[in-house]
Structure 1
Amino acid sequence: MNSSPVNDPLELLTNKGNRQPTFLAPIWNPIAGAVAGFGVALFVNWGFRKPVFSGIQKHIAFTLLGGALGSYFDNKRDQYVAKRDAVLRHYIELHPDDFPKTNRKKYGEVLESWVPVR
């Protein structure tokens, strides 16, 4: 008999503290937005045929705006993912017959043996 642990569908949608975010996870989107904002300022100056670094206030404003938008969209995505997981968790709790607990299998139990044909 297989003595591997049992897969519970609800465990997939719960964070029990065993998965830690990386160092860049909370700051990646704001930094990407700030870099994109700075790039937009450079592109606007280039499009108007000005020196690309002229008007430092424009670069600062676009960088801050890009960082704020990156942070805003990161928070919105977190809210969306949390709501989606809550809806899925609730559905699994209401329909436990559709999501039975299964034993975990190893690749050796699932894959067939391979014999090369030459």
Structure 2
Amino acid sequence: MAQGPKIPQSPLELLDAPQAVDKPFLTKTWGPASLGVLGFVAVMVGNYAARRPMFSGIQWHIIGGAAGVGIGWKMDEIRNRYLADRDAVYRHYITLHPEDFPAYERKKIGDMFQPWIPVR
């Protein structure tokens, strides 16, 4: 029988978990790719509003897409740094106040059900 991941018994055991986890490909590329497409489409909308052909000035499309990818990449870096700092603050608080985080009380499914009395 295959064993799944070990379930932590208390929040303090969560601190022992490995910290470096590779993100999936789609998670890493979603932000920059979507903002790159948004930059490309923004130039198309600008051309449409100016009553020019949609793909005229293709260099602006390339620049808009590249700028969108760069902005998306930087936003992902800022978000990841913020989340890492937040997690570090949480870990620090948990290590300083372990009495606020007692061990989990494990319950079986059968203990959670109330006795069933049919009503007829």
Into which bin does the TM-score normalised by the smaller protein fall? 0.7 to 0.9
Structure 1 residues 96 and 50, CA gap change in structure 2 (3 angstroms): same
Q: State which of 43, 46, 50 in structure 2 corresponds to 1:44.
A: 46
Higher relative contact order, structure no. (Cα contacts within 8 Å, ≥ 6 residues apart): 1
User: Once superposed, what is the RMSD of the aligned Cα atoms?
Assistant: 2.9
3-state SS, counterpart of residue 48 of structure 2: helix
* 1:91 matched residue in structure 2: 93
Q: What are the within-5 Å matches in structure 2 for residues 20-99 of structure 1?
A: 20-99=22-101
Query: Runs of 5+ in structure 1 lacking a partner?
Result: none
Cα deviation, 1:81-114, whole Å, max 9, x if unaligned, reads 0000000000111111111121444555445467
Structure 1 residues 59 and 21, CA gap change in structure 2 (3 angstroms): same
User: TM-score w.r.t. structure 2 length?
Assistant: 0.78
Percent identity between matched residues is 43
Query: Runs of 5+ in structure 2 lacking a partner?
Result: 1-5
* 2:3 matched residue in structure 1: none
Q: 18-27 or 58-67, which moves further after superposition? A: 18-27
Structure 1 residues 15 and 87, CA gap change in structure 2 (3 angstroms): same
Structure 1 residues 37 and 5, CA gap change in structure 2 (3 angstroms): closer
Cα deviation, 1:27-65, whole Å, max 9, x if unaligned, reads 111111111111111111111111111110110110000
CA contact (8 A) 1:34 1:62 kept: yes
CA contact (8 A) 2:39 2:68 kept: yes
Q: 95-104 or 69-78, which moves further after superposition? A: 95-104
